[in-house]
Structure 1
Amino acid sequence: MLGETPIARALTGFGPGLGYEVAGPPAGGFAAESLAGVHAVVVASHGRDEEDALTAAMRAGVPYVGLVASPRRGAAVVGGLDLTREQRDAVRTPAGLWIGARTPGEIALSILAEVVASVRGRDGARSAAPGGGPAATGRPEPRTAPDPVCGMTVAAVPGTPYSDAGGERRWFCCEGCRTAFEAEPGRYAEAR
């Protein structure tokens, strides 16, 4: 686990209850040899030391490597890694199964569910994610929309913050993004 964010703290709290040892970065930092026997590496550090941790985990063959980030930021970070295309494609970002999670605890739950699926050899672990297709789960996908402020994909369902400012309904990951949008809707008009 890399990070001191609320999501990282929630993962650290929930993991042991599922029988998983959750530890910080290995002594001496992330290096391929220090990751032997590790089943999962989750990076939830808001941009700190992400690249080294992700690269080392993929080169070490860690079965589950996840990055907590918006789809836009995650794609940018992963796209810049010095890895093969296959290795970059294997990094799970945004980390976690798509369950409509919004709070740090809910996001941690979705990540741990994806880790469990990966550790248990369930290759379809991403089938419930946006774009995974409803046929994989037997349920229709939740309707989603990008937050025009931060780029995070959010569930467009009752209870999700939204705004009709600018003449079109848009959904947000949190009240802070909604407030920023409503202060300057023209600035975010192109984001959809």
Structure 2
Amino acid sequence: MSERREQPWRDEPVQRGRILVLTDNPIARSIAVIASTVGRTVLLESADDGGPGLDARAGDAVVLCDHDAPDAPAVLRAALASEASYVAMMASRRRAAGLVEELEAEGVDVSTLHVPAGHDLGGKAPGEIALSVVAEIVAESYGRSGGAMRG
């Protein structure tokens, strides 16, 4: 008698929000490739100001890949006020501190802002950093911490 083998994946697609990536750079392009590979819809906006299409919806993830963009505060303000389920910025805590302080002074709730974006994988290459960001987005979309599977 043959037992049916259980597979660890699902064949049916799972609907998830889009990943909106702002400012075209090597990390942003790597996020787009990795996120597309895991089945996410990615919109890469090269304009620093969020471009004409930044309209985060429920379930979307917004990743600002350039904390020095001229309109970074406006982009983050809009994303944090939206129904996006994940809002992040690529920056060290030290470099982002001034921007976060500016938003807090305006009364913006930054408690859900992921800065720096991603999990602490230790990678420094654009693809490695992007992998950590996409891993965090996927983990959060399933209500998981993203820790190791082993017990």
Matched letter for residue 98 of structure 2: A
Q: Is the 8 A contact 1:101 1:107 kept in 2?
A: yes
Q: Is the 8 A contact 2:121 2:132 kept in 1?
A: yes
Which secondary structure state, in structure 1, belongs to the residue aligned with residue 87 of structure 2? Answer: strand
Q: 1:121-152: CA deviations, max 9, x gaps?
A: 22x35xx6xxxxxxx9999xxxxxxxxxxxxx
Q: Is the 8 A contact 1:3 1:44 kept in 2?
A: yes
Alignment size in residue pairs: 124
Cα deviation for residue 88 of structure 1 reads 0.7
1:105 equivalenced with 2:113 (yes/no): no
Question: Partners of 1:137 and 1:16 in 2: how far apart?
Answer: 23
Identify the structure with the greater helix proportion.
Answer: 1
Q: Is the 8 A contact 2:61 2:86 kept in 1?
A: yes
Q: 1:140-171: CA deviations, max 9, x gaps?
A: xxxxxxxxxxxxxxxxxxxxxxxxxxxxxxxx
Correspondence for 1:75 among 97, 110, 124: 97
**TM-score w.r.t. length of structure 2:** 0.72
Taking a change above 3 Å as real, the CA distance of residues 107 and 18 of structure 1, as seen in their structure-2 partners, is: same
Question: Partners of 1:66 and 1:37 in 2: how far apart?
Answer: 15
Partner of 1:45: 66
Matched letter for residue 23 of structure 2: G
Question: Partners of 1:15 and 1:98 in 2: how far apart?
Answer: 18
Cα RMSD for the two superposed structures: 2.4
% of aligned pairs identical? 35
Taking a change above 3 Å as real, the CA distance of residues 113 and 83 of structure 1, as seen in their structure-2 partners, is: farther
Could you tell me which runs of 5 or more consecutive residues in structure 2 were left unpaired when the two chains were aligned.
1-20
Matched letter for residue 43 of structure 1: L
**TM-score w.r.t. length of structure 1:** 0.57
With CA pairs under 8 Å and 6+ residues apart, which has the higher RCO, 1 or 2?
Answer: 2
Correspondence for 1:13 among 8, 13, 33: 33
Question: Partners of 1:20 and 1:100 in 2: how far apart?
Answer: 24
Q: Name segments (4+ residues, structure 1) moved above 2 Å.
A: 24-30, 136-139
Cα deviation for residue 99 of structure 1 reads 0.9
Matched letter for residue 139 of structure 2: A
Question: Partners of 1:45 and 1:90 in 2: how far apart?
Answer: 18
1:79-158 to 2 correspondence within 5 Å?
79-81=101-103, 82-84=106-108, 87-122=109-144, 124-125=145-146
Could you tell me which runs of 5 or more consecutive residues in structure 1 were left unpaired when the two chains were aligned.
129-135, 140-192
Question: Partners of 1:119 and 1:55 in 2: how far apart?
Answer: 21
Cα deviation for residue 95 of structure 1 reads 0.3
Question: Partners of 1:14 and 1:58 in 2: how far apart?
Answer: 24
